[in-house]
Amino acid sequence: MTNEQAVADIINLSEGDSSLANEIRELGGEELLECIQCAKCAAACPLALAGFSFFNKRVIQAVLMGLRDALLDDSSIWACQSCNRCTEICPREVNPFEIIQAMRRVAIREFALPTLSIEGLKSLYDTGHAVYLAGAGNTRNKVGLPEKPPSTVANPEALKELQAILRKTALAELGIIPMEEPGV
C-alpha cells in the first residue's frame, strides 16, 4: 500500500462499486450523502496538510463514486489522526472522521489493513493495551512506579474478561488475529 501516488491514471466510473456508499453508511458513516464536497474539512485536515493522497473530502468523493480499489490500495486512511477537527467544523454535519473510520472498517473486512493495525489489535487482545512495551517495567520502576500499571496487565481476570468480550465483537468474526480462548 502507498500513500504517494495521487490517483490511478484515469478513473473508470463505470467500474465504480455502487454498494460502497451503503456499506460506509452501515458501518458508521451515516451522514455520507450530506456531503457537498465544499472541502472545508480538508482545509484543516492533518492528512491534507501533510500531503497524503486521500483525506476526508477526497475519501468521501471516492466513496461516493464507488472507488473501492483506489481506497483499498492506499494507506492514507490509516494515517488519520482522529483529531476530529473536521467533525467540529463540518457545516453539513457529515462527520468526515467517521467516514474515514467507516472506510477503515470496510478495509478491515477485506483484510486491507496495515501490519501496524494488526499488531495493535493483537496487542489489545493479548494484553488489554494497543501499545504495550514489554520492557517498560524497568522504566516504571525507575520513576518509582510499580512494574505494571493497575490495568489488565496486572490483573489476569480482567484480561480474561476483556478477551471474552472481544470474542463477542465483530473482531472475532473477521479472523484478523488469533483469538483462541486461553488454555483451550
DSSP conformation letters of 172-184: HHHTSS--PPTT-
Interacting residue with other proteins among 65, 72, 73, 179 (CB under 8 A): 65
- Give the C-alpha separation, 141 to 143, whole Å: 5
x-or-dash string of contact with other proteins, 107-126, rule CB under 8 A = -x----xx-xx--xx--x--
Interacting residue with other proteins among 20, 21, 41, 94 (CB under 8 A): 21
Q: Does 171 bind other proteins (CB under 8 A)?
A: yes
Q: Residues 27, 32, 38, CA angle at the centre, nearest 5°?
A: 150
Q: Does 78 bind other proteins (CB under 8 A)?
A: yes
The residues, any chain, with a CB within 8 Å of residue 120's CB and separated by 6 or more, are: 130, 131
Residue identified by cell 512495551 is 133
Are residues 93 and 119 in contact, defined by beta-carbon separation less than 8 angstroms?
no
* Footprint on residues 124-153 left by other proteins (CB under 8 A): 124, 128-133, 136, 139-140, 142-145, 149-152
Neighbour-count burial of 141, counting CB atoms closer than 10 A to its CB (0-12 exposed, 13-18 middle, 19+ buried): exposed
Q: Does 52 bind other proteins (CB under 8 A)?
A: yes
Q: Does 12 bind other proteins (CB under 8 A)?
A: yes
Query: Considering the complex, what minimum distance in angstroms separates the CB of residue 37 from other proteins?
Result: 5
Interacting residue with other proteins among 68, 75, 94, 99 (CB under 8 A): 75
Interacting residue with other proteins among 11, 91, 110, 111 (CB under 8 A): 11
